[in-house]
């Protein structure tokens, strides 16, 4: 019984340190470069795509995976283009990131290949939007589904 009185408070104190602290919603900010995208493109960080931005074209860049040798095919940046329709993508980019779960939660031990998304409107303005992310740092399923639904060339 005496052991329980000593061990139980220590265990409870340790578990309290693991509880989630109510972190703010996350965005994955555009990083890296993208072939065929103007280096002066506006980078939107930590905020959703503006409501008045209407994309007429997009470039999707896979920057490769970290840790691969520079000559490896997957390490080379690649760009694909799309002309839409962008309704679902714009909606997904404007959605606020989901609220982090309360209390303790686990994240999968995996990584997600980074992407850079460049959107251009009819006036020629190009932006690299921040991507809404889950509490574990992955793109939201709505963003991935919208990107995958587009036709890329």
Angle at 66 between CA 33 and CA 151, to 5 degrees: 55
Look at strands 26-28 and 55-62 and give their pairing: unpaired
Residue from 99, 85, 83, 87 nearest 132 by CA: 99
Look at strands 78-82 and 55-62 and give their pairing: antiparallel
What was the pLDDT predicted at 47? 83
β strands within 1-153, DSSP E: 26-28, 42-43, 55-62, 78-82, 115-121, 126-128, 131-133
Mean pLDDT by 10 residues, the chain (153 residues): 43 39 68 75 86 95 62 67 96 90 83 88 93 91 96 94
What was the pLDDT predicted at 25? 60
What was the pLDDT predicted at 75? 57
Domain limits of the chain?
23-99+112-149
What was the pLDDT predicted at 73? 57
């Amino acid at each position: 019984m005496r052991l329980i009185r000593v061990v139980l408070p220590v265990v409870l104190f340790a578990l309290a340190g693991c509880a989630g602290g109510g972190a703010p919603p996350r965005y994955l900010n555009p990083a890296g470069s993208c072939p065929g995208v103007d280096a002066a493109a506006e980078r939107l960080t930590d905020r959703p795509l503006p409501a008045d931005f209407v994309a007429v074209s997009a470039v999707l860049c896979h920057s490769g995976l970290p840790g691969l040798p520079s000559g490896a095919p997957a390490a080379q940046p690649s760009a694909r283009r799309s002309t839409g329709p962008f309704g679902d993508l714009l909606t997904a980019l404007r959605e606020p990131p989901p609220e982090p779960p309360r209390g303790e939660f686990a994240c999968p031990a995996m990584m997600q290949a980074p992407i850079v998304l460049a959107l251009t409107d009819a006036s020629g303005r190009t932006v690299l939007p921040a991507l809404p992310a889950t509490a574990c740092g992955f793109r939201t399923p709505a963003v991935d589904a919208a990107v995958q639904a587009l036709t890329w060339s």
